[in-house]
Amino acid sequence: MSANAIRVAGRMPEAERIRDRDLLKRFHAGDRDAFTEIYRVHHKPVFRFTCMMTGDGLKAAEATQDVFVWLIHHPQDFDPQRGELGAFLVGVARKLLKRRYTEEKRWVPFDESGADPASPPSVSGQQEEDIVRLRQAIAALPERYRAVVVLCDLEEKTYEQAALVVECAVGTVRSRLHRARALLARKLAGKGCAA
């Protein structure tokens, strides 16, 4: 079964679940190499999520670091019976970003010079402008809509996986995604964006 088929099915292979559970047990017992492996496996998806949520590579790197520092102090908070470690860590990132947003009361506009792992390798000038407009439009969405767009449309998570991260019902994810897409379409149509 390919990685995409697994993603579509919304299921993580049992071997990966067991690996994550084993790594957490080893880390909790004091094995630092286990934490290094957890970070190696899960930091990229957490970074991509935080980058798309903040629109800033530096803020995303800082938030990603905060997620793993949090995990160091709370490894027992992960319950493998409730879901996957990767989804749990993205959920932690979401909560940390939400808390930071509440404290700051503002987001910095998307900085194109920041690191962005989702940037296409080669695009035309018009496509690049459309991508910038799309990123700006996503960054301007309210957090509840931005989270489901990033998870479902950009990270290609299933509705069920997104519901676990944002801690709501699957139907709520669907309605938020529908509303978010409508808001994006209106914003982008007003700017003449072909995306």
Q: Where are the domains of the chain?
A: 1-116, 120-195
Cα distances (angstroms) measured from residue 7 to each of 78, 146, 148, 151: 21, 20, 16, 12
Angle between helices 85-104 and 57-73 (to 10 degrees): 120
CATH architecture under which domain 1-116 falls: Orthogonal Bundle (1.10)
Rounded Cα distance, 90 and 39, in Å: 13
The continuous run of DSSP H or E covering 27 comes out as helix 14-28
* Predicted confidence pLDDT, tens digits, the chain (195 residues): 334 433 434 455 677 888 888 898 898 888 889 999 999 999 999 999 999 888 888 989 999 999 999 999 888 888 888 888 988 999 999 999 888 877 765 544 555 444 454 444 555 677 778 778 888 888 888 888 998 998 888 888 889 988 888 888 999 999 999 999 998 888 888 665 554
Among 98, 97, 93, 57, CA closest to 165? 93
Question: What class has domain 120-195?
Answer: mainly alpha
1-116 and 120-195 agree in CATH topology: no
DSSP letter assigned to residue 55: S
Predicted TM-score of the model (pTM): 0.63
